[in-house]
Amino acid sequence: MVHDTLTGLLARCTQSLESEFGHLPGYESTIPESAIEPILATVAHRLGDNYPYFHPLYAGQMLKPPHPVAWAAYALAMKINPNNHARDGGRASSAMEVEAVQEIAAMFGWAEFLGHLTSSGTLANLEALWIAGQLAPNRRILSSEQAHYTHRRISGVLRLDYAGVAADLRGRMDLDALEAELRKGGVGMVVATLGTTATGAVDPLDEILALRERYGFRVHVDGAYGGYFGLIPDELNESARRAYAAIPQADSIVIDPHKHGLQPYGCGCVLFHDPAVGRFYKHDSPYTYFTSRESQLHPVHFRSGEQKSLAGDPIHLGEISLECSRAGAAAVALWATQQLLPLTPGGEFAHGLACGRRAAVELDRRLREDACFEPLATGRPELDIVVWKAAAETAGQASERAQQVFDRCAERDLHLALVQLPQSWFGPPTGAKAGAVTCLRSVLMKPEHEAWLDRIWERLSAAAG
């Protein structure tokens, strides 16, 4: 019903957009509707070969449906198909990007910074690591072994030395292991993950920053998944709350609006606390920028209200991004969503995060009271991801049992995920080897998951019984 209503609204807004260009001479479309309709009908049928990512019974991977205003704004922008590489390619959408990114930075307490949207969190993290390599060449990048695998891969692409740091029993970066690496010297940046992909663990950012005072290195926050949770500090445990409170002290931040930010793929964002890093992006294109005054190439800074060069001239976003062509529609969708749902504590957007967080805590509580399951031994989840293993005598039996429950849940239209974790995270191993165990994993990131938890639990219990 919501989408039907929005479809009519989108049609009216499309007519309004077309009227903005009504002074132009008309022209006829050369594509007959009769040729398109059967193709789209086939597309609709083939798209049915998917998991129902949009539904509350899908609780497997990090897939959150875009807000209706986001997909409507994206579709409206596609009538123009702007390119936010240069102001000439997307004047309105570039301005919207600047405003939307400013609102994200304000969520982290930054009023002066350098930042822009990217096509993904991977690209955003690549830019953060690239800047670290520019500032401190031939120095190492460190991240937790539970950090996203792309940090190791990106370091290889950039030819930066990389080392993984052991994680503790909660999946967070182990501080003793980190300091052991720091004592070796030659560290240029430490990546703190706020919301690991496996368990939603939150690295102790506040304590990592304390080590920065002693050893001197950049701190990058990979908040691609969990970055927004700073809006609901009262819902978090104490250690996570301290980590989120420390984000303003970081050197760079990545967040993915296409995860918790209710955006279509792909929409990532990278922010740098020191605007002077813009000097590394400087380039001289002989063909891209002819008509815009906003084409002068200078290091940039970003103060509240407008993004400018140090010479005082407005700039285009292509000067502060490694990517060239970028979908302006992504910026329009993000801007529209943040107009409807501001990034403020206590607001409707924050309420949606809190619903998922409460659902995760409640699912974890039920798992701990059921003899069929064994949640993590270290306590309740830190964000909205819940991981547990099937109760069994050995890790091999538990892994086999997890696969069975996974399949039986899918037969009941409940879609979970599987993940391999150290057996030691669930207590002393009972088999000959500690090793890894295949576990069940649920990402309760939809606001509706709280209201649907009873139905989720009913299906899970039946699948395990």
Task: Based on the fold, state whether residues 312 and 399 are members of the same structural domain.
Answer: no
Please state, rounded to an integer, the average pLDDT across all residues of the chain.
Answer: 89
Residue 385's DSSP bridge partners are 443
Average confidence (pLDDT) over 212-223:
97
Task: Based on the fold, state whether residues 275 and 354 are members of the same structural domain.
Answer: no
Task: Based on the fold, state whether residues 355 and 313 are members of the same structural domain.
Answer: no
Residue 240 near residue 383, CB atoms below 8 Å:
yes
Q: pTM here? A: 0.90
DSSP state, 180? Answer: H
- 443 within some domain: yes
Task: Based on the fold, state whether residues 303 and 365 are members of the same structural domain.
Answer: no
Task: Based on the fold, state whether residues 205 and 354 are members of the same structural domain.
Answer: no
Q: Which of 340, 359, 379 is the last residue of a domain?
A: 340
In order of 26, 128, 247, 413, the CA distances from 273 in angstroms are: 48, 11, 11, 45
Higher pLDDT, 17 or 198: 198
- 81 within some domain: no
Higher pLDDT, 153 or 312: 153
Radius of gyration of the chain (CA): 24
For the chain, the domain total comes to: 2
Task: Based on the fold, state whether residues 220 and 275 are members of the same structural domain.
Answer: yes
299 confidence band (pLDDT: 50, 70, 90): very low
- 363 within some domain: yes
- The predicted structure's pLDDT at residue 281: 85
Residue 403 has pLDDT above 90, yes or no: yes
Q: Which residues of 84-119 are buried (b: 16+ CB within 10 A; e: fewer)?
A: bbbbbbbbebbbbbbbbbbebbebbebeebbbbbbb
Q: Which of 322, 340, 358 is the last residue of a domain?
A: 340
- The predicted structure's pLDDT at residue 429: 61
Q: What is the CATH number of the domain that holds 336?
A: 3.40.640.10
Average confidence (pLDDT) over 201-207:
98
- 34 within some domain: no
Q: How far is CA 148 from the centre of its chain?
A: 11
Closest among 221, 213, 214, 220 to 133, alpha carbons compared? 220
**Type of residue found at 221:** V
- 354 within some domain: yes
* Residue 285, Ramachandran bin (φ over 0: left; ψ between -120 and 50: alpha; else beta): beta
- The predicted structure's pLDDT at residue 316: 61
33-78 residue pLDDT tens? 888 999 999 999 999 999 999 999 999 999 999 999 999 999 999 9
Task: Based on the fold, state whether residues 430 and 410 are members of the same structural domain.
Answer: yes
Residue-wise DSSP of 395-424: HHHHHHHHHHHHHHHHHTT-B-EEEEEEGG
- 249 within some domain: yes
Q: What is the CATH number of the domain that holds 415?
A: 3.90.1150.10
* Structural domain span for residue 227: 91-340
- The predicted structure's pLDDT at residue 198: 93
Task: Based on the fold, state whether residues 416 and 327 are members of the same structural domain.
Answer: no
Task: Based on the fold, state whether residues 332 and 406 are members of the same structural domain.
Answer: no
Q: Which of 288, 312, 340 is the last residue of a domain?
A: 340
Total residue length of the chain: 465
Task: Based on the fold, state whether residues 251 and 334 are members of the same structural domain.
Answer: yes
Average confidence (pLDDT) over 410-430:
90
- 4 within some domain: no
Residue 8 has pLDDT above 90, yes or no: no
Task: Based on the fold, state whether residues 357 and 321 are members of the same structural domain.
Answer: no
- 51 within some domain: no
Could you give phi then psi for residue 307, rounded to 5 degrees?
A: -95, 125
176 confidence band (pLDDT: 50, 70, 90): very high
- The predicted structure's pLDDT at residue 214: 96
Task: Based on the fold, state whether residues 357 and 237 are members of the same structural domain.
Answer: no
Enter the tokens of residue 180. Answer: 């052991």
